[in-house]
């Protein structure tokens, strides 16, 4: 049993694909719009860690309580913490919990969260990472008593295309297709694939524009991602999806990061002089989750909508997700 969750290699990550399929030897799970969390229990101590290794225990103290109470040997599990808005998982609703660093304040927030577990990495001092996924999920299902806020992530063994169509009709973010006999591998592989109903990904915030009319704080966020050479590429701006309270708090964070020159590769920025009017640059540290309809031919986002800030992914790891086959 690892002494610390940081001794466990990083989480397995799914690769975005445009290919929707139903194949023997694959399982299909609902893609949840929340915060990825690895949890470990050693004796009576529970640790929650985000995808970057940051401590998430104070943000979700009720999950710590539930994992302490599990009548099972010590473990390391992988899952997604979500908040529901009706029948849909809401990243925006989860935001107030993700950024809380005080357990008492988190409990008073009024935002109810659940922890969907979908993989088992260690059990009773033994690594299970090398077992086939289907065996790991069977162990996970049998070891835990499934009461809220802990939930087992169900899956289908077939009909991936029909399930994806159903997911989109029901307003889900999509599906995760997983190779049923695969071992648990850290990093992004093609053993786990993302079927997305709505395009969306993380973007680095590289600046903001002045507000117009009665709006306060800022007008829009300037977005970008890092290319293979490590250059920050401009991807457009997003000006919708912000609550009034967020405009004020985020504006203060932006001003604290303000700088004189753009962090973007200059050749990726629009050349029109009007683009520079009312624009402020920032050191690229903030990461925004943005939904959009499509990429334009010139590499800009069409119909972007701000969903929230992410703290579970470092800015220098944000790249453009390319739909493959």
Residues with active-site annotation = 31
- Cα–Cα distances in Å, from 322 out to 17, 199, 227, 259? 8, 11, 12, 30
Kindly provide the b/e burial profile for residues 176-210, where b requires at least 16 CB atoms within 10 angstroms of the residue's own CB.
Answer: bbbbbebebbeeeeebbbbbbbebbbbbbbbbbbe
Cis peptide before 176 (omega within 30 of 0): no
Confirm if 117 and 153 have CB atoms less than 8 A apart: yes
User: What is the distance between the alpha carbons of residues 233 and 154, in angstroms, rounded to a whole number?
Assistant: 38
HSE at residue 186, side-chain half, CA atoms within 13 A, is 10
Confirm if 291 and 302 have CB atoms less than 8 A apart: no
User: What is the distance between the alpha carbons of residues 77 and 143, in angstroms, rounded to a whole number?
Assistant: 11
User: What is the distance between the alpha carbons of residues 166 and 168, in angstroms, rounded to a whole number?
Assistant: 5
User: What is the distance between the alpha carbons of residues 47 and 55, in angstroms, rounded to a whole number?
Assistant: 7
User: What is the distance between the alpha carbons of residues 140 and 138, in angstroms, rounded to a whole number?
Assistant: 5
> Backbone phi, then psi, for 142, in 5-degree steps?
-80, -30
């Amino acid at each position: 049993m690892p002494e610390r969750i940081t001794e466990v290699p990083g989480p397995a990550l799914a690769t975005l694909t445009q290919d929707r399929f139903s194949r023997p030897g694959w399982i299909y799970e609902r893609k949840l719009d929340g915060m990825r969390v690895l949890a470990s229990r050693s004796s009576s101590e529970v640790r929650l860690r985000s995808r970057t290794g940051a401590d998430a225990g104070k943000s979700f103290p009720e999950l710590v309580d539930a994992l302490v109470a599990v009548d099972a040997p010590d473990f390391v599990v992988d899952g997604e913490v979500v908040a529901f808005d009706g029948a849909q998982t809401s990243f925006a609703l989860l935001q107030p919990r993700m950024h809380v660093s005080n357990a008492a304040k988190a409990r008073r927030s009024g935002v109810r969260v659940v922890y969907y577990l979908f993989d088992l990495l260690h059990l009773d001092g033994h690594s299970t990472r090398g077992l086939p996924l289907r065996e790991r999920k069977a162990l996970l299902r049998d070891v835990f008593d499934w009461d809220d806020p802990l939930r087992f992530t169900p899956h289908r063994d077939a009909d991936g295309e029909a399930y994806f169509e159903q997911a989109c009709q029901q307003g889900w973010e999509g599906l995760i297709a997983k190779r049923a006999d695969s071992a648990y591998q850290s990093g992004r592989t093609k053993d786990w694939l993302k079927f997305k109903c709505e395009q969306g990904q993380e973007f680095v915030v590289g600046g903001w524009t002045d507000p117009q009319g009665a709006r306060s704080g800022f007008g829009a966020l300037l977005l970008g991602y890092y290319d293979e050479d490590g250059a920050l590429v401009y991807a457009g701006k997003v000006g919708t999806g912000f609550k009034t309270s967020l405009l004020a708090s985020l504006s203060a964070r932006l001003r604290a990061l303000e700088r004189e020159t753009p962090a973007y590769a200059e050749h990726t920025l629009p050349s029109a002089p009007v683009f520079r009017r009312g624009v402020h640059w920032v050191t690229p540290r903030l990461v925004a989750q943005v939904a959009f309809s499509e990429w334009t031919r010139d590499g800009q986002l069409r119909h972007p909508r701000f969903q929230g800030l992410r703290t579970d992914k470092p800015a220098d790891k944000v790249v453009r997700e390319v739909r493959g086959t």
